[in-house]
Amino acid sequence: MSIKQKIFSFVILLSLFISALQVSPAAALTITGVSPASVLNNVATEVTISGTDFTADVVVTLTGGASPVALALQSWSETSLVVIVPAGVTPGTYKIQVTTALDTKEFGAFTVSAPIPTATPAPFGRPQIVMDSYRTNVGEIKYNEEFNLVVRLHNAGQVRATNIQAVFSSPDLTPTKTGGVSAEDVINADSRVDISQKMRATTSLYGKSGVQVDLSISYYDDKGTAYSEKFTLNVPVKATNYVAAATATPTGMKRSQLVITSYESDVEILQPGSLFSLELGVQNLGNASARNVTMIIGGGSSGGSGAGGTPQPGGVSGGSGEFTNFAPVGASNIQSLGDFAPGAALVASQKLIVNVSTNPGAYPMKITFSYLDENGNTINDDQVITLLVYSLPNVDVSFYQPVGTLFVGQPNFLPLQVVNLGKKMSVLGGMTVTTPSGMLENAQTLVGSIESGGYFTLDAMLYPDIPGPLELTVTIDYTDDFNQPRTITKTLTLDVIEMEEMPVDPNFPEGGGGGGGGEGFPPVEQEETFLQKAWRFVLGLFGLDSGQPVEQPVPIYEEEPIPVEPGVRGPKG
């Protein structure tokens, strides 16, 4: 080998050596933490491992136990691993081993624990006294006969009951000897004890099949907690039980009591501005007389009484009553009705007026009767009655233009109108026009709301059947202020006559008259121009009608003047 070749080989080896020195060192695998560091073995748990230089072929194992446990890889990145620690791993302290193709690292102090068992609370226990049975030593009890009532108590609870006390009570029976109280020291759990009480029937048992006995029981448990129970017993009674006793005559207190037994108004429907007379039926329903009775409409009072019932001087106060909606007319609101013996009655009358500003509704009215009782004490009895105020529509039904005379069998126009004469808007329902002497068309419609002074029109058509006076009935339905259906009815009278036939001239019968053919009038010849005559000549050459044209006269009838009643305006125009 020449020197050049040796130098060249040396340079190549030196280059390879330098290249080997420049290769980067292998990646360093590290584990910086595990979260959580402790898990329970009753469920599978996710564990996150933090570190560096994790590769995709990483394998994670739980070591330190009897045998390694492979952990399933849930997710992977170069700095984080998520693995699943399965359920059922033996409790203990383990290490987590992470293995890659280049290195293996371990993380110690990873704990697997068993769950702490939850303590089951002991069952709640208490004494519970219940009624097991009861009986009497005589079967059925009798009046004024002593008997023994025996009650068997049962402790249905889990612990014993102490200091048991039973109290018997009844409106028909009287306990004897013990005063109705019996006691027992202890009733163990699921044990029974009999408690007896002597009793006697001291009231009449006639007509009764049994009497009621109330039993109240109080007791304690071993810790001193108090409990109580209550039972109702029904003791049978012998059917023949009765006791003869004198009936006591009650001695009630004597006093007078004035009551309004009825009231009515001479005006059936009260509206704002109505003047009416209110009649009140007054009766003394007490068992004592009422003297110097004064009736106060709207409420009030009269002079009081002093100590011991001594009357004191004083007048009658009736000016503080309520008169917003109803006010007295013709006399004041105070009337003297005289004396009332027990059971006496009379009818009192008072004239009133409804205020024009009163709205529809139900209004209570207070009435006071002030009088002296048999001891001279002043008594004021207040009564309340209710008056209903309506606001019904005030409408007029008529024709908005004269109708005149109607003809039998001919169509006749009926120009009907409804005018609201009230001060408020009226809401009306259906409007119907009927007659027994003909046929009507367009005779039914819905009216709706009409403002004050406004009107509603209906153009009906009438075909009368017979001549003479014809009655036309207009009916309007609506609902009043208390939601009750009402009706407005108006009757209009019209005259109907037979249709007169036109006289026919015998010289010009219908369809004749010199070839004119026009309602019995002779034809009228028309003046022709030169062109019309030339055209008739041409028509004659061809054998066509070349007669001179004539004009049919139009019959002229004299129109009868329409009679106008005095004071009635005719149609405009």
Give the tens place of pLDDT for each residue, 354-408: 998 899 999 998 999 989 988 888 888 888 999 999 989 999 999 999 988 888 9
Which pLDDT does position 375 carry in this prediction? Answer: 82
Q: Rounded to whole angstroms, what are the CA distances from 436 to 398, 399, 407, 444, 498?
A: 19, 19, 16, 16, 18
The pLDDT value recorded for residue 302 is: 73
Q: Which of 121-135, 246-260, 266-280, 342-356 has the lowest average pLDDT?
A: 246-260
Fold of 129-236: Immunoglobulin-like (2.60.40)
Query: What whole-number distance in Å separates Cα of residue 76 and Cα of residue 73?
Result: 7
Q: What confidence score (pLDDT) does residue 313 get?
A: 46
CATH, domain range 258-389: 2.60.40.10
pLDDT for 237 equals: 81
Half-sphere exposure of 328 (CA within 13 A, CB side): 17
Asked if 489 contacts 523 with a C-beta cutoff of 8 angstroms, the reply is: no
| Predicted confidence band of residue 458 (pLDDT cuts 50, 70, 90) | very high
pLDDT at position 105 is 86
H or E element: which one contains 16? helix 3-21
Domain residue spans of the chain: 30-113, 129-236, 258-389, 395-497, 514-562
For the ranges 239-243, 461-465, 523-527, the maximum mean pLDDT occurs at 461-465
Q: Given the DSSP bridges, would you call strands 524-525 and 550-551 parallel, antiparallel or unpaired? A: antiparallel
Residue 126, pLDDT > 50, answer yes
- Chain centroid to Cα 499, Å, comes to 63
Q: What is the mean pLDDT of residues 104-113?
A: 86
The phi, psi pair for 309, rounded to 5°, reads 80, 15
State residue 511's pLDDT score.
Answer: 46
Share of the chain above pLDDT 90, in %: 24
- Residue 109: left if φ>0, alpha if ψ -120 to 50, beta else—which one? left
Give dist(CA 514, CA 519) in Å, integer.
12
**pLDDT the model gives residue 145:** 82
Q: Looking at domain 395-497, which CATH architecture does it have? A: Sandwich (2.60)
Residue 430 has pLDDT above 70, yes or no: yes
Query: Are both 129-236 and 258-389 of the same fold?
Result: yes
pLDDT digits (tens, 9 = 90+) for 23-63: 445 557 888 888 888 889 888 999 898 888 888 888 899 88
Q: Does domain 30-113 bear CATH number 3.40.50.9100?
A: no
Residue carrying the six token digits 């709205």? 359
Q: Please give the residue that has the higher pLDDT: either 138 or 396.
A: 396
What is the DSSP secondary structure assignment for residue 391, as one 8-state letter? -
What is the mean predicted confidence (pLDDT) over 5-16? 70
Average pLDDT of the residues of the chain: 81
The predicted pLDDT at position 312 comes to: 44
Describe the strand order of the beta sheet including 80-85 as a list of residue ranges: 30-35, 45-52, 80-85, 72-76
**Does position 529 have pLDDT exceeding 90, yes or no?**
no
List helix spans (H) across 67-142: none
Q: Report the distance separating Cα 50 and Cα 79, nearest Å.
A: 6
Tokens read off for 522: 């002779």
What does R_g of the chain's alpha carbons equal in angstroms? 59
What local confidence, expressed as pLDDT, does residue 218 receive? 92
Say if residue 477's pLDDT is above 50.
Answer: yes
Average pLDDT (141-163) is: 87
Percent of the chain whose predicted confidence (pLDDT) is above 70: 80
Q: Cβ neighbours of residue 351 under 8 Å, at least 6 residues apart? A: 275, 276, 277, 278, 328, 329, 330, 331
